[in-house]
Amino acid sequence: MALENPLFEELMKDFDSRLTHSGIDGERVASRLYELSHIGYTQIGGVKRPGFSDEEKKAKSLVKKWMVEAGLDVTEDGAGNIRGRLAGKNLEAKAIASGSHVDSVPNGGNFDGPLGVLSALEIAEAWKATNYVPEKPYEVIVFSDEEGSRFNSGLSGSRAMIGAIDDKEIEGLRDYNGDSLEQVLTHYGSSLQQFKEAKRDIEELELFVEVHIEQGKKLEKADQPVGIVSGIAGPAWLEVEFIGEAGHAGNTPMIGRRDPLVAAADFIQRIPEFPGEISETAVATVGKMEVLPNGINVIPEKVVLHVDIRDIYEETRDALLNRIIEEAEDIAKNRDIQLAIKQNTKIKPVPIEQELQAQLADSLKEFSIEPAYIPSGAGHDAMILGRHIPVAMLFVRSKDGISHNPKEWSSLNDCIYGIHVLKNFIEKKMGETITNSN
């Protein structure tokens, strides 16, 4: 028996039909979100579309069909990235691109990724409906495996596109079934060689603009449908080991104990104080902890903590990183605990150019939206491309800030406002040249 999926009715219920204009069709966007939601649909209303899965491939095939109907020339590379290209008047010009992804986390929501893809596609649909021919080429891009739920290593499609996945990393990738990337790609219909050949000359693009749900509450608090991303945070991950001395919980006196869990507790309590001292956009989180040997009547011998540190500015992110390391060293010294620290990840943040933010603000104001500036703590494909070309991002309001969850929700009104702003911004950019400052 088919599972009930009320997404279309819920989207249309409060939709203001006056937002359907200038070639942008709210009902079409709702219908397409609904069609995609059936692919990998779960019993509690979410979706499960891991990267390089049959479900992700089916979702991409559906988008490819829509791209062709919109008049785009469609290609797919060996990493599964889909590109729909519309030739502009100036065939020699660099292209302006927009897009996102259609894969999901396990039991994720219906807007994270698909909204960005459909927003980019709706621009082409609007131009077709109004007989508008852009000055420069335009590309709609669907990236593979953004979420990383397949290999615990995301942004695979965009990293393949710029050649940022090396052989050493490829050899170490194993999915949740224990399959290698090569095995997964073969099942998908590609090959490891084709994956490596997915690298393109990214300088063919003048600008990449991504629309994404906020995954936070700032727009909700500001009562605005759409906001401007001020930068994309680069994560730094620390693995911190406090090493003490195991002992019997009953026979070991309290005086003289070298308990690494007590040291770890001190460390965890201190971390929330540091980000605000260094930057208003910085965050730090202890998201994982292992206690060894983890016995109820055993003083631990070792505690391993994993700390996620992020900011949209590299200088302040690194200052926070160093402050947290210093705190771990002080606590270990004061409690006579050994300390080992390993840095597992350090990705460069991507600030959004001030000029692009100002131009996005102008587009927002044309729809009577007060500009709100929001740092993105999550990674996005725009972050990967932003190391090489200018990028910009728009956030669409998320109800209660919920994401990666079947309850993830953005109203159709907010989604369509986002598309109108995107269209306005891109059409303005079609008339000028962007200088790559990277």
Q: Which residues are annotated as a binding site for Zn(2+)?
A: 101, 112, 147, 212, 404
Residue with tokens 């710029």: 162
**Which segments are annotated as binding site?**
101, 112, 147, 212, 404
Question: Are 331 and 266 a contacting pair, CB within 8 Å?
Answer: yes
